[in-house]
Structure 1
Amino acid sequence: MGRGTIDDVTSTASTVERAFRAALYDDTDTGLDTGASLLATDRAADAEVTRRGEEFVTAAWQRGWQPADVIRLVRRELAEKHVRLAVALIRAQAGRDRPRGRRWAAQLESLPQEPAREVDRFSHATTVLELYRLLLRLPALEPLEEEMRGTPGPAASRMLTRIRALLAKAEATGYPEEAEALSAKAQELIARHSVDEALLAAQAPVPDAPRACRIGVESPYEQPKAVLLDAVATANHCRAVWNEPLGFSTVVGFEADLEAVELLYVSLLVQAMHALTKAEAVQRAGGRRRTKTFRQSFLAAYAHRVGDRLAAVTETQVTRDLLPVLATRAMAVTDRVERMFPETSTTRLRGVSDAAGWTEGTAAADRARVEGRPRLP
């Protein structure tokens, strides 16, 4: 009986190895079909195939990837069936993994919840091998330090709750002026929160250090979306570095500022798309066709103008005595960026040549006047 068990294990391993050798190290459809056929005919290999998949996930973490990064790339390069499989592997691996920090835990919590769908064994094996091909070829990313900080204190939690509520209202309203006024108020609270955090950190016995997170920049119109994220990051004392091929920006800054950038970018992007839809309706009513160049120009102008307005709101919270603290933190952020990304290049915006799109985008970001706010005492 013991011999039989050893033989079974050996046979299973042999099936998996032959399937992987045929499909994972060969980009042809023939190799994929061969590997899928081998796995489909050997049910005893299922557990080993899953175990190998979890090993691929672990290897991705070792190369600097995080759960949200993997899911974003799988969705971008493959299909929803591959996303469901990747989610299952990540969840299974997480059950045996060590704690990796609050942001990592939040990514696991936000993984899409979709039930598995019944398919024939050959189709399932094909999906598995296509996903494993992608995981096997993931490049190394700049490592992000694991932050083990606990949940925010009561005051910070209340502030973040207020900011989220304002941004939710801004996204829900059908009036652009109201949306922009609510976003301006949210930025004021964000700036005030950042100031409070900076002052507390300056008084701490152990100085705080900047961290980094990745934020997805989804197609279409990735360039102006990356510009919008950069504008939000800059207005909130952070730096953003865009990785165009992999569809994300790495944002570097202090923790409270990173949280603000994540919240505000998503909200402003939603508002920008709402405003673009309205502008296109006006274009159609005037007999003009919608074009990719119009959308690109609209979003680029929106990002440019919103960045100016966010920066102006942030400045209202900065007093003269706070400048040395902010200068020290800015130097720390710059140093972290240069260590993570010793070589960067500047990308010129493409397709921004539609005057109507630029004018409409600027107007969408500029309808509501942002009044000066009282400075913090």
Structure 2
Amino acid sequence: MTTTSTSGPSGAAGTVDRAFAAALHTADDTALDTGASLLAADPAADAELARRGEELMAAAWRRGWEPADVLRLVRRELDEPHLRLAAELIRTQAAADRPRGRRWTRQLDEAGRLLESSGRASARTDRFTHATAVLELYRLLLRLPVLEPLDAPGPAGRRPAAPGESRVLGRIRALLAKAEATGYPQEAEALSAKAQELMARHSVDEARLAAQDPSPDAPGACRIGVDPPYEQAKAVLLDAVATANHCRAVWNEALGFSTVVGFEADLEAVELLYTSLLVQATTAMTKAEAAQRAGGRRRTKTFRQSFLAAYAHRVGTRLAVAAESQVTQDLLPVLASRDVAVADRVERMFPETTTTRLRGVSDAAGWAQGAEAADRARMTERRPLP
């Protein structure tokens, strides 16, 4: 009588286990090929492989990650096929997940738009290539570090969002988009000025409601991507925008984002204004480089880094001056209380932070032109608060 011995699970789960054991805990390409070959040879393992991916994505949420964070990292570390796979996993896993609020929902919608724009069908190739991409994505998900959780449970009786809130923010987004797209400076400035007016009104309304509410909202937090190149200068710009809007920003250079802490209306303003100013800075830098080339001078990475650093520094100064002129005496205690709450949240989230000195800022022409561009930035000061 012949007997055989087996080790480990069999069937689809066994195939996935063996592929994971071979490929996920090493960066070796041969091991990756081994795992991909096992998966490619067993179509019955596809459903189990997808289920394991959903588990890895749910584990990422438990580590403090959000959908936009995952997509940002995948875009930075891997390639387009991996990005489509990640977006599909995020959307599939969401069906079994708990509700997580408006910001999370917007990120899920963004994952859906990514899938629509890239086309699901184009994501599938031959089985071996597909399995390789899946394992590379799972490797990345498996090694995600723990992040500071962004969810801040508010007190009982937390004030719900105002009915017109989303409409106001939608108008601000539309105005800034038009300001960035128009080729007429006067029209752009008028649009940006109107957006600033709406931002100020929105923030003031929130502060006044908080003063009247016995159970005001607690500060929240969001992560905003700070992508290379010239990420140091971009982080400085984001910090300046955050500070002017009663928020605090903490930059994570390794993972390519800043965590911004503040009250919800102010967080929305920071995201919108930073994005708009970054678009304007990039446009101005491109024009400055073209003018330099026309004059026979070749500009380098140092020119661009210096340009953006000067732009961020000067914009920060302008925003600080504007912020000081906004506040009336009756609102000083309210804003001071909110500033203390924000600082306390930052201290609890980031008990240890360090400062970073800007590197590569040595091009005098780049600095001068960046400062000039900041002075021209479409950023009309907010009128004093009523």
- Per the shorter chain, which TM-score range? over 0.9
Q: Does 1:129 align with 2:138?
A: no
Whole-angstrom CA distance in 2 between matches of 1:33 and 1:77: 19
Distance 1:242 1:174 in 2: 33
Picking from 304, 317, 326, the partner of 1:317 is 326
User: CA distance change for structure 1 residues 84 and 198 in 2, over 3 Å: closer, same or farther?
Assistant: same
State the Cα distance separating 1:343 from its structure 2 match: 0.4
- Residue 372 of structure 1: CA displacement? 6.4
Give the C-alpha shift of residue 288 in structure 1: 0.8
Residues 63 and 141 of structure 1 are in contact (CA less than 8 Å); yes or no, is this contact kept in structure 2? yes
Which SS does the other structure have where 1:250 is aligned?
A: strand
Note the C-alpha offset of 1:166. 2.5
Q: Report the alpha carbon displacement of residue 151 of structure 1 after superposing the two structures with TM.
A: 8.1
1:162 aligns with 2:166: no
Is the 1:101–1:146 Cα contact (8 Å) retained in structure 2? no
Q: 2:343 aligns with which of 326, 334, 339?
A: 334
CA distance in 1, matches of 2:378, 2:185: 12
Identify which range, 301-310 or 150-159, moves more after superposition. 150-159
Does the 8 Å CA contact 2:302/2:361 hold for their aligned counterparts? yes
Q: Which residue is 2:19 aligned to? A: 19
Structure 2 stretches of 5 or more lacking a match? 1-8
Does the C-alpha gap of structure 1 residues 55 and 372 become closer, same or farther in structure 2, counting only changes over 3 Å?
closer
SS in 1 for 2:11: helix
Aligned twin of 1:41:
41
Deviation string, structure 1 residues 24-82 (Cα, Å, up to 9, x no partner)? 01210111010001101011111111100000000000000000000000010000000
**Do 1:184 and 1:310's aligned partners in 2 also have CA atoms closer than 8 Å?**
no
Q: 2: CA distance between counterparts of 1:150 and 1:95?
A: 28
SS of the counterpart of 1:100? coil
| 1: CA distance, partners of 2:378 / 2:21 | 62
* Matches for 1:137-152 after TM superposition, within 5 Å: 137-145=143-151, 152=161
Amino acid paired to 1:170 = A
Question: What residue is the counterpart of 2:51 in the other structure?
Answer: 51
Q: Residues 183 and 348 from structure 1, CA distance in 2 versus in 1: closer, same or farther, beyond 3 angstroms?
A: farther
Cα separation, 2, equivalents of 1:64 and 1:364: 38
Q: CA deviation at 1:335?
A: 0.4
Change beyond 3 A, Cα 1:303–1:123: same
**Shift of residue 152 of structure 1?**
4.3
Does the Cα contact within 8 Å between 2:225 and 2:257 map onto a contact in 1? Answer: yes
Match of residue 4 from structure 2: none
d(CA) in 2 for partners of 1:180 and 1:312? 19
CA change 1:183–1:123 in 2 (3 A) is same
1:6 corresponds in structure 2 to: none
How big is each residue's C-alpha offset from its partner over 1:211-256, in whole Å with a ceiling of 9 and x where there is no partner?
1000111111111111111111011000000000100000000000
Q: 1:156-184 deviations in whole A, cap 9, x for unaligned?
A: 34432332233112211235576456435
8 Å contact 2:302–2:363 — kept in the other structure? yes
SS of equivalent residue, structure 2 residue 357:
coil
Partner residue of 1:172? 181
Which residue is equivalent to 2:119?
115
Amino acid at match of 2:329: R
Q: CA 1:88–1:162 in structure 2 vs 1: closer, same or farther (change >3 Å)?
A: closer
Task: Report % sequence identity.
Answer: 75
Maintained 8 Å contact 1:210/1:252? yes
Aligned-residue CA RMSD (Å): 2.1
- Residues 126 and 140 (structure 1), Cα distance of their counterparts in 2 relative to 1, 3 Å cut: same
| Superposition deviation, residue 368 in structure 1 | 6.5
Offset, 1:316: 3.2
Q: Which runs of 5+ in 1 are unaligned?
A: 1-8
Counterpart in 2 of 1:3?
A: none
Instruction: Give SS of 2:277's match.
Output: helix
Find the residue that maps to 1:242 and give its secondary structure: strand
- The letter of the residue matching 1:20 is F
Aligned mates of 1:143, 1:126 — CA distance in 2: 31
CA deviations on 1:72-112 (whole Å, 9 max, x unpaired) are 00010000000000111111100111111111011001111
Does the C-alpha gap of structure 1 residues 315 and 195 become closer, same or farther in structure 2, counting only changes over 3 Å?
farther
Q: 2:60, 2:144 within 8 Å by CA — same for their partners in 1?
A: yes
What is the alpha-carbon distance in structure 2 between the residues aligned to residue 74 and residue 151 of structure 1? 34
Determine if the alignment matches structure 1 residue 246 to structure 2 residue 250: no
1:272 correspondence with 2:281:
yes
Is the Cα–Cα contact under 8 Å of residues 152 and 219 in structure 2 kept in the other structure? no
Question: One-letter code of the match for 2:119?
Answer: P
Decide whether the 8 Å contact of 2:159 with 2:216 is kept in 1.
no
User: Cα distance, 1:132 vs. partner?
Assistant: 0.4
Tell which deviates more after alignment, 256-265 or 308-317: 308-317
Aligned partner letter, 2:292: Q
Deviation, structure 1 residue 305: 1.3
Structure 1 residue aligned with 2:374, among 361, 365, 368? 365
Q: For this pair of structures, how many residues does the alignment match?
A: 369
Q: Which amino acid aligns with 2:144?
A: L
For residues 109 and 179 of structure 2, what CA distance do their matches in structure 1 show?
25
Other-structure match for 1:100? 100
Q: Distance in 1 between matches of 2:381 and 2:371?
A: 20
Q: Say whether the 8 Å CA contact 1:192–1:317 is kept in structure 2.
A: no
Q: Which amino acid aligns with 2:276?
A: S
SS of equivalent to 2:10: helix
User: How far off its partner does 1:370 sit?
Assistant: 7.0
Query: Which residues of 2 match residues 190-339 of structure 1 at below 5 A?
Result: 190-339=199-348
Q: Return the TM-score normalized by structure 2.
A: 0.90
Q: Pick closer, same or farther for the CA change 1:372–1:351 going to 2, 3 Å.
A: closer
CA distance in 1 between partners of 2:355 and 2:182 (Å): 36
